[in-house]
Amino acid sequence: MTPLFLGRSYKERPFFFVCLSAVFVFLLASFACSRNDASQNAIEEDQQTLFTVNDIEVSSYEFNQAYLRYIIKNGRNDTKDERYRFLARWKENLLLAEEAIDNGYTKNPIYIEATEAQKRKTIADIYFVKEMNELLPEITDDELRLAFAKSKRKVYPRQLYATTKEALVPYYQKLEEGANFIKLANEFYQTASYDSLAGSLGSIGYYSVDDAFAEKAFSLNKEEYSEPFQSKLGWHIIWVEHIIFEAMLAEDEYQIKKEGTFSKYRSRKANLYAGDYIKDQMQKLEVLPNKEGILSLKTQLEKVAANQETQSSLEQIPQTTNPEFWESDAISEIADEFDKNMSLATYKFNGEILTFTVADYLSWLPYLSANESKARTGASLGRAIRNEYFYKKGIESGTDESFEVQRIVRNRGLDVLSQLYQKEIINQALQDTTAVEIPTWFVDRLFPNQGYKMNASYSFVKATDSDNAVALRKKWEQEKSNRSIKGLSKLNNQQMDANTPLFVLISKALINKPMVANSKEYGWIVLNVEKREFLPFKSQTMIASENVLQQQYRAYSALKDSLTKYDAQSKVQIDTTVFNRMYLLQ
Protein backbone atom coordinates (compact mmCIF):
# COMPACT_ATOMS: atom_id res chain seq x y z
CA MET A 1 0.00 0.00 0.00
CA THR A 2 1.47 3.34 -1.09
CA PRO A 3 0.96 6.09 1.52
CA LEU A 4 -1.03 9.02 0.17
CA PHE A 5 0.83 11.71 2.00
CA LEU A 6 4.47 11.31 1.01
CA GLY A 7 4.48 13.78 -1.85
CA ARG A 8 5.71 17.02 -0.24
CA SER A 9 5.42 19.29 -3.26
CA TYR A 10 1.88 20.37 -2.41
CA LYS A 11 1.37 23.53 -0.38
CA GLU A 12 -0.68 21.59 2.10
CA ARG A 13 -2.60 22.84 5.10
CA PRO A 14 -1.79 20.79 8.22
CA PHE A 15 -4.61 20.68 10.74
CA PHE A 16 -3.28 18.60 13.58
CA PHE A 17 -4.53 20.28 16.72
CA VAL A 18 -8.21 20.18 15.82
CA CYS A 19 -10.04 17.33 17.51
CA LEU A 20 -11.51 14.73 15.15
CA SER A 21 -15.07 15.90 15.78
CA ALA A 22 -14.15 19.16 14.03
CA VAL A 23 -13.11 17.49 10.75
CA PHE A 24 -16.54 18.14 9.25
CA VAL A 25 -16.28 21.89 9.96
CA PHE A 26 -12.93 21.90 8.18
CA LEU A 27 -14.39 20.11 5.17
CA LEU A 28 -17.06 22.74 4.75
CA ALA A 29 -14.44 25.48 4.79
CA SER A 30 -12.26 23.64 2.29
CA PHE A 31 -15.15 23.26 -0.14
CA ALA A 32 -15.96 26.91 0.25
CA CYS A 33 -12.42 27.76 -0.84
CA SER A 34 -12.08 25.34 -3.74
CA ARG A 35 -8.80 25.45 -5.65
CA ASN A 36 -10.79 25.50 -8.89
CA ASP A 37 -12.76 28.61 -7.94
CA ALA A 38 -10.91 31.45 -9.64
CA SER A 39 -12.53 34.09 -7.48
CA GLN A 40 -11.01 32.47 -4.40
CA ASN A 41 -7.46 32.37 -5.76
CA ALA A 42 -6.88 36.08 -5.34
CA ILE A 43 -3.87 36.78 -3.15
CA GLU A 44 -5.14 38.04 0.18
CA GLU A 45 -3.34 38.77 3.40
CA ASP A 46 -4.98 35.95 5.30
CA GLN A 47 -3.55 33.42 2.82
CA GLN A 48 0.05 34.49 3.30
CA THR A 49 2.42 31.80 4.53
CA LEU A 50 2.88 32.07 8.29
CA PHE A 51 5.45 29.33 8.80
CA THR A 52 7.06 26.39 7.02
CA VAL A 53 8.63 23.17 8.25
CA ASN A 54 10.82 21.94 5.41
CA ASP A 55 8.38 21.88 2.46
CA ILE A 56 5.12 22.08 4.42
CA GLU A 57 3.52 25.53 4.49
CA VAL A 58 0.86 26.86 6.86
CA SER A 59 -1.03 30.07 6.03
CA SER A 60 -2.16 32.72 8.49
CA TYR A 61 -5.78 31.98 7.52
CA GLU A 62 -5.30 28.34 8.36
CA PHE A 63 -3.56 29.10 11.61
CA ASN A 64 -6.40 31.37 12.71
CA GLN A 65 -9.02 28.72 11.98
CA ALA A 66 -7.23 26.07 14.04
CA TYR A 67 -6.21 28.47 16.80
CA LEU A 68 -9.67 29.95 17.31
CA ARG A 69 -11.21 26.50 17.55
CA TYR A 70 -8.55 25.67 20.14
CA ILE A 71 -9.21 28.67 22.40
CA ILE A 72 -12.99 28.26 22.14
CA LYS A 73 -12.79 24.60 23.09
CA ASN A 74 -10.30 25.17 25.94
CA GLY A 75 -11.65 28.47 27.27
CA ARG A 76 -8.31 30.24 26.72
CA ASN A 77 -7.78 33.97 26.36
CA ASP A 78 -6.41 35.25 23.07
CA THR A 79 -2.92 36.62 23.69
CA LYS A 80 0.22 36.88 21.62
CA ASP A 81 2.02 34.42 23.89
CA GLU A 82 -0.83 31.91 23.58
CA ARG A 83 -0.58 32.12 19.79
CA TYR A 84 3.16 31.52 19.89
CA ARG A 85 2.71 28.50 22.14
CA PHE A 86 0.10 27.08 19.79
CA LEU A 87 2.36 27.65 16.78
CA ALA A 88 5.29 26.00 18.58
CA ARG A 89 3.25 22.86 19.34
CA TRP A 90 2.14 22.70 15.71
CA LYS A 91 5.75 22.96 14.52
CA GLU A 92 6.89 20.24 16.93
CA ASN A 93 4.16 17.93 15.69
CA LEU A 94 5.47 18.30 12.13
CA LEU A 95 9.08 17.72 13.15
CA LEU A 96 8.21 14.45 14.91
CA ALA A 97 6.10 13.28 11.98
CA GLU A 98 8.90 13.83 9.51
CA GLU A 99 11.36 11.91 11.69
CA ALA A 100 8.85 9.06 11.80
CA ILE A 101 8.71 9.05 7.99
CA ASP A 102 12.50 8.92 7.75
CA ASN A 103 12.54 5.96 10.15
CA GLY A 104 10.05 3.86 8.21
CA TYR A 105 6.98 4.36 10.38
CA THR A 106 4.71 4.45 7.33
CA LYS A 107 4.81 0.63 7.45
CA ASN A 108 3.41 0.61 10.98
CA PRO A 109 -0.02 -1.15 11.05
CA ILE A 110 -1.44 1.57 13.32
CA TYR A 111 -0.55 4.22 10.76
CA ILE A 112 -1.97 2.16 7.87
CA GLU A 113 -5.22 1.46 9.74
CA ALA A 114 -5.58 5.08 10.85
CA THR A 115 -5.10 6.51 7.36
CA GLU A 116 -7.49 3.96 5.87
CA ALA A 117 -10.11 4.87 8.49
CA GLN A 118 -9.53 8.57 7.78
CA LYS A 119 -9.95 7.96 4.06
CA ARG A 120 -13.34 6.32 4.64
CA LYS A 121 -14.41 9.13 6.95
CA THR A 122 -13.28 11.85 4.55
CA ILE A 123 -15.06 10.26 1.58
CA ALA A 124 -18.25 10.19 3.63
CA ASP A 125 -17.82 13.80 4.75
CA ILE A 126 -17.06 15.19 1.30
CA TYR A 127 -19.95 13.34 -0.31
CA PHE A 128 -22.27 14.67 2.38
CA VAL A 129 -21.13 18.25 1.83
CA LYS A 130 -21.65 17.96 -1.92
CA GLU A 131 -25.13 16.56 -1.37
CA MET A 132 -26.06 19.35 0.99
CA ASN A 133 -24.80 21.97 -1.48
CA GLU A 134 -27.07 20.50 -4.14
CA LEU A 135 -30.14 20.15 -1.93
CA LEU A 136 -30.11 23.54 -0.19
CA PRO A 137 -32.63 26.14 -1.38
CA GLU A 138 -31.45 29.11 -3.40
CA ILE A 139 -29.76 31.93 -1.55
CA THR A 140 -31.18 35.40 -2.18
CA ASP A 141 -29.02 38.37 -3.07
CA ASP A 142 -30.05 40.06 0.19
CA GLU A 143 -28.81 37.06 2.17
CA LEU A 144 -25.56 37.06 0.23
CA ARG A 145 -24.96 40.78 0.73
CA LEU A 146 -25.54 40.41 4.48
CA ALA A 147 -23.10 37.49 4.61
CA PHE A 148 -20.53 39.57 2.70
CA ALA A 149 -21.00 42.48 5.12
CA LYS A 150 -20.54 40.18 8.11
CA SER A 151 -17.36 38.76 6.58
CA LYS A 152 -15.89 42.28 6.58
CA ARG A 153 -16.52 42.79 10.30
CA LYS A 154 -14.45 41.86 13.31
CA VAL A 155 -16.46 40.81 16.35
CA TYR A 156 -14.91 40.65 19.83
CA PRO A 157 -16.90 38.12 21.87
CA ARG A 158 -16.47 36.78 25.37
CA GLN A 159 -17.91 33.43 26.34
CA LEU A 160 -18.99 31.17 29.14
CA TYR A 161 -18.28 27.65 27.94
CA ALA A 162 -19.49 24.34 29.35
CA THR A 163 -20.13 20.81 28.18
CA THR A 164 -23.79 20.87 29.28
CA LYS A 165 -26.60 23.39 29.00
CA GLU A 166 -27.49 22.89 32.66
CA ALA A 167 -24.15 24.35 33.76
CA LEU A 168 -24.93 27.63 31.97
CA VAL A 169 -28.60 28.15 32.85
CA PRO A 170 -27.95 29.74 36.31
CA TYR A 171 -25.51 32.21 34.74
CA TYR A 172 -27.95 33.09 31.97
CA GLN A 173 -30.51 33.86 34.66
CA LYS A 174 -28.01 36.17 36.36
CA LEU A 175 -27.45 37.99 33.08
CA GLU A 176 -31.20 38.37 32.71
CA GLU A 177 -31.21 39.94 36.18
CA GLY A 178 -28.62 42.50 35.07
CA ALA A 179 -25.28 40.93 36.09
CA ASN A 180 -22.10 42.28 34.51
CA PHE A 181 -20.76 39.72 32.03
CA ILE A 182 -17.06 40.21 32.84
CA LYS A 183 -17.66 39.86 36.58
CA LEU A 184 -19.78 36.82 35.87
CA ALA A 185 -17.00 35.31 33.73
CA ASN A 186 -14.57 35.72 36.65
CA GLU A 187 -17.04 33.89 38.85
CA PHE A 188 -17.74 31.19 36.26
CA TYR A 189 -14.06 30.45 35.60
CA GLN A 190 -13.16 30.85 39.29
CA THR A 191 -10.24 33.18 38.62
CA ALA A 192 -7.77 33.50 41.48
CA SER A 193 -7.76 37.29 41.07
CA TYR A 194 -9.85 39.63 38.97
CA ASP A 195 -9.09 39.00 35.29
CA SER A 196 -10.15 41.77 32.94
CA LEU A 197 -9.80 39.32 30.02
CA ALA A 198 -11.97 36.57 31.53
CA GLY A 199 -13.78 34.72 28.76
CA SER A 200 -12.22 36.83 26.01
CA LEU A 201 -11.67 35.21 22.61
CA GLY A 202 -10.07 38.21 20.96
CA SER A 203 -11.57 38.93 17.58
CA ILE A 204 -13.23 36.38 15.32
CA GLY A 205 -14.00 36.41 11.65
CA TYR A 206 -17.33 35.33 10.24
CA TYR A 207 -15.88 32.17 8.69
CA SER A 208 -13.08 31.43 11.16
CA VAL A 209 -15.04 29.61 13.90
CA ASP A 210 -17.74 27.01 14.37
CA ASP A 211 -20.78 27.82 12.21
CA ALA A 212 -23.35 27.96 15.01
CA PHE A 213 -20.97 30.06 17.13
CA ALA A 214 -20.33 32.53 14.30
CA GLU A 215 -23.99 32.93 13.37
CA LYS A 216 -24.89 33.63 16.96
CA ALA A 217 -22.01 36.07 17.53
CA PHE A 218 -22.63 38.00 14.32
CA SER A 219 -26.36 38.29 15.00
CA LEU A 220 -25.77 40.21 18.24
CA ASN A 221 -25.26 43.92 18.63
CA LYS A 222 -22.56 45.43 20.80
CA GLU A 223 -23.00 44.55 24.51
CA GLU A 224 -25.77 42.04 23.79
CA TYR A 225 -25.56 38.47 25.07
CA SER A 226 -26.99 35.21 23.78
CA GLU A 227 -29.10 32.56 25.39
CA PRO A 228 -27.25 29.24 26.02
CA PHE A 229 -26.72 27.56 22.65
CA GLN A 230 -24.92 24.49 21.36
CA SER A 231 -22.07 24.29 18.85
CA LYS A 232 -20.02 21.30 17.78
CA LEU A 233 -17.63 22.11 20.63
CA GLY A 234 -20.12 22.32 23.50
CA TRP A 235 -22.49 24.87 25.06
CA HIS A 236 -21.91 28.61 25.14
CA ILE A 237 -23.23 31.94 26.30
CA ILE A 238 -21.54 34.74 24.39
CA TRP A 239 -21.46 38.48 24.93
CA VAL A 240 -20.28 40.85 22.22
CA GLU A 241 -17.89 43.36 23.71
CA HIS A 242 -17.00 45.25 20.55
CA ILE A 243 -17.59 45.22 16.78
CA ILE A 244 -15.37 46.77 14.12
CA PHE A 245 -17.32 47.55 10.97
CA GLU A 246 -15.79 48.10 7.55
CA ALA A 247 -15.72 51.85 6.91
CA MET A 248 -17.26 51.38 3.49
CA LEU A 249 -18.59 48.33 1.65
CA ALA A 250 -17.64 48.73 -2.00
CA GLU A 251 -19.98 47.33 -4.63
CA ASP A 252 -17.01 46.49 -6.87
CA GLU A 253 -15.44 44.34 -4.15
CA TYR A 254 -18.73 42.58 -3.50
CA GLN A 255 -19.12 41.72 -7.18
CA ILE A 256 -15.54 40.41 -7.39
CA LYS A 257 -15.98 38.21 -4.31
CA LYS A 258 -19.61 37.31 -4.85
CA GLU A 259 -18.93 33.80 -6.12
CA GLY A 260 -16.58 32.99 -3.26
CA THR A 261 -18.99 34.48 -0.71
CA PHE A 262 -21.74 32.32 -2.19
CA SER A 263 -19.64 29.13 -1.77
CA LYS A 264 -18.77 29.89 1.82
CA TYR A 265 -22.26 30.93 2.87
CA ARG A 266 -23.88 27.96 1.13
CA SER A 267 -21.49 25.60 2.95
CA ARG A 268 -22.39 27.27 6.23
CA LYS A 269 -26.10 26.76 5.61
CA ALA A 270 -25.38 23.14 4.69
CA ASN A 271 -23.72 22.61 8.04
CA LEU A 272 -26.48 24.31 10.02
CA TYR A 273 -29.25 22.36 8.30
CA ALA A 274 -27.36 19.07 8.23
CA GLY A 275 -29.26 17.60 11.18
CA ASP A 276 -32.61 17.50 9.42
CA TYR A 277 -31.07 16.05 6.27
CA ILE A 278 -29.29 13.27 8.17
CA LYS A 279 -32.48 12.40 10.06
CA ASP A 280 -34.37 12.08 6.78
CA GLN A 281 -31.69 9.87 5.21
CA MET A 282 -31.55 7.61 8.27
CA GLN A 283 -35.31 7.07 8.14
CA LYS A 284 -35.00 5.91 4.54
CA LEU A 285 -32.43 3.29 5.59
CA GLU A 286 -35.06 1.50 7.69
CA VAL A 287 -32.48 0.37 10.25
CA LEU A 288 -33.39 -2.73 12.28
CA PRO A 289 -31.05 -3.12 15.28
CA ASN A 290 -29.99 -6.47 16.74
CA LYS A 291 -30.56 -5.78 20.43
CA GLU A 292 -28.65 -8.83 21.65
CA GLY A 293 -25.66 -7.96 19.50
CA ILE A 294 -25.67 -4.35 20.69
CA LEU A 295 -25.87 -5.41 24.34
CA SER A 296 -22.96 -7.80 23.83
CA LEU A 297 -20.97 -5.01 22.16
CA LYS A 298 -21.75 -2.57 24.99
CA THR A 299 -20.53 -5.09 27.59
CA GLN A 300 -17.28 -5.61 25.72
CA LEU A 301 -16.69 -1.88 25.23
CA GLU A 302 -17.09 -1.27 28.96
CA LYS A 303 -14.77 -4.20 29.79
CA VAL A 304 -12.01 -3.03 27.45
CA ALA A 305 -12.30 0.56 28.69
CA ALA A 306 -11.87 -0.64 32.28
CA ASN A 307 -8.86 -2.77 31.28
CA GLN A 308 -7.26 0.19 29.50
CA GLU A 309 -7.72 2.48 32.51
CA THR A 310 -6.22 -0.13 34.83
CA GLN A 311 -3.25 -0.71 32.54
CA SER A 312 -2.55 3.01 32.16
CA SER A 313 -2.67 3.43 35.92
CA LEU A 314 -0.23 0.56 36.50
CA GLU A 315 2.22 1.66 33.80
CA GLN A 316 1.98 5.36 34.71
CA ILE A 317 3.23 6.34 31.26
CA PRO A 318 2.55 9.88 30.03
CA GLN A 319 -0.49 10.06 27.73
CA THR A 320 0.10 11.31 24.17
CA THR A 321 -3.27 10.46 22.64
CA ASN A 322 -6.78 11.88 22.85
CA PRO A 323 -8.80 10.15 25.63
CA GLU A 324 -12.07 11.21 23.96
CA PHE A 325 -11.53 8.58 21.28
CA TRP A 326 -10.60 4.91 21.23
CA GLU A 327 -6.93 4.03 20.81
CA SER A 328 -5.89 1.44 18.23
CA ASP A 329 -4.82 -1.19 20.80
CA ALA A 330 -8.21 -0.91 22.53
CA ILE A 331 -10.00 -1.39 19.21
CA SER A 332 -7.85 -4.46 18.52
CA GLU A 333 -8.74 -5.87 21.93
CA ILE A 334 -12.45 -5.37 21.21
CA ALA A 335 -12.07 -7.06 17.82
CA ASP A 336 -10.36 -10.11 19.37
CA GLU A 337 -13.43 -10.86 21.49
CA PHE A 338 -15.98 -10.88 18.68
CA ASP A 339 -16.97 -12.69 15.55
CA LYS A 340 -16.38 -9.78 13.17
CA ASN A 341 -19.25 -11.00 11.00
CA MET A 342 -21.78 -10.81 13.84
CA SER A 343 -24.76 -8.63 12.89
CA LEU A 344 -25.45 -5.45 14.84
CA ALA A 345 -28.20 -4.22 12.52
CA THR A 346 -29.62 -4.40 9.02
CA TYR A 347 -30.40 -1.45 6.76
CA LYS A 348 -31.62 -0.77 3.25
CA PHE A 349 -29.19 0.62 0.66
CA ASN A 350 -30.30 1.20 -2.93
CA GLY A 351 -33.22 -1.15 -2.33
CA GLU A 352 -31.00 -3.99 -1.01
CA ILE A 353 -31.03 -5.22 2.60
CA LEU A 354 -27.47 -5.09 3.98
CA THR A 355 -26.02 -6.32 7.27
CA PHE A 356 -24.00 -3.94 9.44
CA THR A 357 -21.47 -6.13 11.23
CA VAL A 358 -19.06 -5.78 14.14
CA ALA A 359 -16.27 -5.29 11.57
CA ASP A 360 -18.18 -2.40 9.99
CA TYR A 361 -18.70 -0.77 13.39
CA LEU A 362 -15.04 -1.16 14.36
CA SER A 363 -13.96 0.50 11.11
CA TRP A 364 -15.75 3.67 12.28
CA LEU A 365 -14.88 3.40 15.98
CA PRO A 366 -11.76 5.64 15.74
CA TYR A 367 -14.11 8.52 14.89
CA LEU A 368 -16.83 7.81 17.42
CA SER A 369 -16.92 9.24 20.92
CA ALA A 370 -15.49 6.75 23.41
CA ASN A 371 -17.89 7.91 26.11
CA GLU A 372 -20.96 7.69 23.90
CA SER A 373 -20.00 4.26 22.57
CA LYS A 374 -19.91 2.94 26.15
CA ALA A 375 -22.86 4.81 27.63
CA ARG A 376 -25.15 5.01 24.57
CA THR A 377 -24.00 2.17 22.35
CA GLY A 378 -27.18 2.26 20.26
CA ALA A 379 -26.68 5.95 19.40
CA SER A 380 -23.04 5.29 18.59
CA LEU A 381 -24.10 2.46 16.28
CA GLY A 382 -26.50 4.85 14.54
CA ARG A 383 -23.67 7.28 13.84
CA ALA A 384 -21.55 4.47 12.43
CA ILE A 385 -24.34 3.35 10.07
CA ARG A 386 -24.82 6.97 8.99
CA ASN A 387 -21.11 7.20 8.18
CA GLU A 388 -21.20 3.89 6.29
CA TYR A 389 -24.13 5.08 4.17
CA PHE A 390 -22.41 8.32 3.14
CA TYR A 391 -19.16 6.44 2.50
CA LYS A 392 -20.89 4.01 0.13
CA LYS A 393 -22.60 6.89 -1.66
CA GLY A 394 -19.24 8.66 -1.91
CA ILE A 395 -17.62 5.62 -3.54
CA GLU A 396 -20.50 5.45 -6.01
CA SER A 397 -19.95 9.10 -6.97
CA GLY A 398 -16.15 8.82 -7.35
CA THR A 399 -15.37 11.00 -4.33
CA ASP A 400 -12.49 8.70 -3.39
CA GLU A 401 -10.44 10.19 -6.27
CA SER A 402 -10.77 13.73 -4.88
CA PHE A 403 -7.69 15.82 -4.10
CA GLU A 404 -9.37 16.88 -0.86
CA VAL A 405 -9.49 13.24 0.27
CA GLN A 406 -5.74 12.84 -0.32
CA ARG A 407 -4.96 16.07 1.48
CA ILE A 408 -6.96 15.32 4.61
CA VAL A 409 -5.74 11.73 4.79
CA ARG A 410 -2.20 13.03 4.57
CA ASN A 411 -2.77 15.37 7.52
CA ARG A 412 -4.24 12.60 9.64
CA GLY A 413 -1.29 10.41 8.73
CA LEU A 414 1.18 13.03 9.91
CA ASP A 415 -0.67 13.36 13.20
CA VAL A 416 -0.58 9.60 13.79
CA LEU A 417 3.10 9.40 12.86
CA SER A 418 3.88 12.15 15.36
CA GLN A 419 2.08 10.26 18.13
CA LEU A 420 3.79 6.97 17.26
CA TYR A 421 7.22 8.57 17.28
CA GLN A 422 6.55 10.31 20.57
CA LYS A 423 5.66 6.94 22.11
CA GLU A 424 8.88 5.44 20.76
CA ILE A 425 11.00 8.25 22.22
CA ILE A 426 9.26 7.91 25.58
CA ASN A 427 9.59 4.12 25.67
CA GLN A 428 13.30 4.36 24.91
CA ALA A 429 13.76 6.95 27.65
CA LEU A 430 11.99 4.76 30.22
CA GLN A 431 14.42 1.89 29.59
CA ASP A 432 17.03 3.90 31.52
CA THR A 433 16.36 3.47 35.24
CA THR A 434 19.27 5.61 36.42
CA ALA A 435 18.08 8.19 38.96
CA VAL A 436 18.02 11.74 37.62
CA GLU A 437 17.90 15.05 39.45
CA ILE A 438 14.50 16.61 38.86
CA PRO A 439 14.43 20.42 38.77
CA THR A 440 12.11 22.24 41.14
CA TRP A 441 10.09 23.87 38.36
CA PHE A 442 9.18 20.44 36.96
CA VAL A 443 8.02 19.20 40.35
CA ASP A 444 5.93 22.35 40.81
CA ARG A 445 4.27 21.79 37.45
CA LEU A 446 3.20 18.25 38.31
CA PHE A 447 2.49 18.90 41.99
CA PRO A 448 1.54 22.58 42.21
CA ASN A 449 1.87 24.06 45.69
CA GLN A 450 3.03 20.75 47.19
CA GLY A 451 6.79 21.27 46.84
CA TYR A 452 7.13 23.81 49.62
CA LYS A 453 5.67 25.32 52.76
CA MET A 454 5.68 28.99 53.70
CA ASN A 455 6.22 31.24 56.64
CA ALA A 456 4.27 34.42 55.91
CA SER A 457 2.97 37.62 57.50
CA TYR A 458 -0.03 39.12 55.72
CA SER A 459 -3.22 41.17 56.06
CA PHE A 460 -6.52 40.90 54.23
CA VAL A 461 -10.02 42.32 54.33
CA LYS A 462 -13.19 40.83 52.85
CA ALA A 463 -15.09 42.81 50.22
CA THR A 464 -18.73 42.64 49.18
CA ASP A 465 -17.89 42.44 45.47
CA SER A 466 -15.14 43.28 42.99
CA ASP A 467 -15.98 47.01 42.88
CA ASN A 468 -15.82 47.22 46.67
CA ALA A 469 -12.49 45.35 46.61
CA VAL A 470 -11.01 47.80 44.08
CA ALA A 471 -12.17 50.75 46.19
CA LEU A 472 -10.62 49.26 49.34
CA ARG A 473 -7.33 48.64 47.56
CA LYS A 474 -7.19 52.24 46.32
CA LYS A 475 -7.86 53.51 49.85
CA TRP A 476 -5.16 51.21 51.23
CA GLU A 477 -2.61 52.45 48.65
CA GLN A 478 -3.50 56.13 49.01
CA GLU A 479 -3.30 56.14 52.79
CA LYS A 480 -0.20 53.90 52.76
CA SER A 481 -1.69 52.28 55.82
CA ASN A 482 -4.41 49.82 56.72
CA ARG A 483 -5.36 51.35 60.06
CA SER A 484 -8.60 52.92 58.84
CA ILE A 485 -9.81 49.76 57.07
CA LYS A 486 -12.57 48.06 59.04
CA GLY A 487 -12.71 44.28 59.35
CA LEU A 488 -9.00 43.82 58.61
CA SER A 489 -7.42 40.48 59.54
CA LYS A 490 -3.69 40.57 60.25
CA LEU A 491 -1.62 37.41 60.72
CA ASN A 492 2.09 37.25 61.54
CA ASN A 493 4.63 34.45 61.01
CA GLN A 494 2.05 31.92 59.86
CA GLN A 495 3.28 28.42 58.99
CA MET A 496 1.40 27.51 55.80
CA ASP A 497 1.07 24.57 53.44
CA ALA A 498 -1.07 23.81 50.38
CA ASN A 499 -4.15 23.20 52.55
CA THR A 500 -3.96 26.57 54.34
CA PRO A 501 -6.51 29.20 53.21
CA LEU A 502 -5.07 31.77 50.75
CA PHE A 503 -1.90 29.69 50.27
CA VAL A 504 -1.80 30.05 46.47
CA LEU A 505 -2.60 33.77 46.48
CA ILE A 506 0.01 34.51 49.15
CA SER A 507 2.64 32.46 47.33
CA LYS A 508 2.18 34.55 44.15
CA ALA A 509 1.55 38.02 45.59
CA LEU A 510 4.02 40.89 45.32
CA ILE A 511 5.47 41.94 48.67
CA ASN A 512 3.85 45.04 50.21
CA LYS A 513 1.59 45.55 47.19
CA PRO A 514 -2.14 45.31 48.06
CA MET A 515 -3.96 43.19 45.48
CA VAL A 516 -7.58 42.44 44.61
CA ALA A 517 -8.31 38.71 44.53
CA ASN A 518 -11.26 36.35 44.33
CA SER A 519 -10.48 33.59 46.84
CA LYS A 520 -12.36 30.33 47.08
CA GLU A 521 -12.32 30.62 50.89
CA TYR A 522 -13.53 34.20 51.41
CA GLY A 523 -14.73 35.47 48.03
CA TRP A 524 -13.52 38.93 46.99
CA ILE A 525 -10.73 40.28 49.21
CA VAL A 526 -7.88 42.77 49.29
CA LEU A 527 -4.65 41.03 50.29
CA ASN A 528 -1.27 42.45 51.28
CA VAL A 529 1.73 40.21 51.97
CA GLU A 530 4.34 41.86 54.21
CA LYS A 531 6.79 38.96 54.48
CA ARG A 532 7.12 35.51 52.94
CA GLU A 533 9.70 32.72 53.18
CA PHE A 534 9.49 29.47 51.20
CA LEU A 535 10.42 26.26 53.00
CA PRO A 536 11.02 23.32 50.60
CA PHE A 537 9.65 19.91 51.60
CA LYS A 538 8.25 16.74 50.06
CA SER A 539 4.59 15.99 50.60
CA GLN A 540 3.41 12.40 51.12
CA THR A 541 1.94 12.49 47.61
CA MET A 542 5.30 13.46 46.15
CA ILE A 543 7.18 10.81 48.12
CA ALA A 544 4.73 8.13 46.99
CA SER A 545 5.06 9.34 43.39
CA GLU A 546 8.86 9.57 43.22
CA ASN A 547 9.05 6.85 40.56
CA VAL A 548 6.36 8.60 38.50
CA LEU A 549 8.31 11.85 38.72
CA GLN A 550 11.44 10.11 37.47
CA GLN A 551 9.55 8.61 34.52
CA GLN A 552 7.79 11.84 33.67
CA TYR A 553 11.01 13.82 33.68
CA ARG A 554 12.88 11.24 31.59
CA ALA A 555 10.04 11.34 29.05
CA TYR A 556 9.98 15.14 29.02
CA SER A 557 13.76 15.43 28.67
CA ALA A 558 13.91 12.85 25.87
CA LEU A 559 11.20 14.61 23.86
CA LYS A 560 12.76 18.02 24.45
CA ASP A 561 16.26 16.83 23.42
CA SER A 562 14.91 15.07 20.34
CA LEU A 563 12.93 18.10 19.21
CA THR A 564 15.94 20.36 19.73
CA LYS A 565 17.99 18.06 17.47
CA TYR A 566 15.28 17.78 14.80
CA ASP A 567 14.76 21.52 14.84
CA ALA A 568 18.45 22.11 14.21
CA GLN A 569 18.44 19.64 11.31
CA SER A 570 15.28 20.97 9.66
CA LYS A 571 14.46 24.08 7.70
CA VAL A 572 11.92 25.90 9.85
CA GLN A 573 10.88 29.43 8.96
CA ILE A 574 8.38 31.66 10.77
CA ASP A 575 7.37 34.93 9.17
CA THR A 576 7.22 37.19 12.22
CA THR A 577 6.00 40.10 10.10
CA VAL A 578 2.94 38.12 9.03
CA PHE A 579 2.45 36.88 12.61
CA ASN A 580 2.61 40.37 14.13
CA ARG A 581 0.36 41.88 11.49
CA MET A 582 -2.08 38.99 11.87
CA TYR A 583 -2.25 39.56 15.64
CA LEU A 584 -2.62 43.34 15.38
CA LEU A 585 -5.49 42.94 12.90
CA GLN A 586 -7.43 40.69 15.28
> Does 420 map to a domain?
no
Contact 485, 461 (CB under 8 A): yes
- Given a contact cutoff of 8 angstroms between Cβ atoms, the answer to whether 579 and 58 are in contact is no
Q: Is residue 489 part of a domain?
A: yes
User: What is the distance between the terminal CA atoms of the chain, rounded to a whole angstrom?
Assistant: 44
**Among residues 373, 393, 415, which one ends one of the domains?**
373
* Helix (H), strand (E) at residue 302: helix 291-315
Domain boundary among 336, 357, 373: 373
Residue 540, pLDDT score: 59
CATH code of the domain in which 482 resides? 3.10.50
pTM: 0.56
Our count of domains for the chain comes to 2
> Distance between CA atoms of 72 and 19, rounded to whole angstroms?
12
- Cα separation of 207 and 276, whole Å? 22
- What single DSSP character describes residue 321? S
Asked if residue 446 is part of any domain, the answer here is no
Q: Measure Cα distances from 538 to 105, 347, 435, 542 in Å.
A: 42, 61, 17, 6
Q: How far is CA 50 from CA 25, 61, 583, in A?
A: 22, 9, 12
Q: Give the helix, strand, coil percentages of the chain, each rounded to 5.
A: 55, 15, 30
User: Which amino acid is it at 414?
Assistant: L
Query: Residue 338 has what pLDDT?
Result: 82
Mean pLDDT (10-residue bins), the chain, 586 residues: 28 30 38 38 59 84 78 77 90 92 93 90 90 82 93 94 94 96 94 90 90 94 95 92 89 87 84 81 92 92 78 47 69 84 94 95 89 90 94 93 83 89 92 82 66 84 88 85 82 86 88 88 90 73 68 90 91 88 64
Integer Cα distance of 295 and 395 in angstroms: 31
Domain end (from 521, 537, 553): 537
How far apart are alpha carbons 378 and 384 in whole angstroms? 10
On whether residue 56 sits in a domain, the answer given is: no
Inside any domain, residue 321: yes
C-alpha to C-alpha distances, 99 to 92, 103, 105, 414, 417, nearest whole angstrom: 11, 6, 9, 10, 9
State the pLDDT at residue 13.
29
Residue pair 552/318 in contact by the 8 Å Cβ criterion = yes
Domain assignment present for 188: no
Q: Is residue 291 part of a domain?
A: yes
- Cα separation, 147 vs 214, in Å, equals 11
Residue 583 lies inside a defined structural domain of this protein: no
Tell me what pLDDT residue 47 has.
Answer: 66
Domain that holds residue 291: 282-373
pLDDT for the residue numbered 317? 43
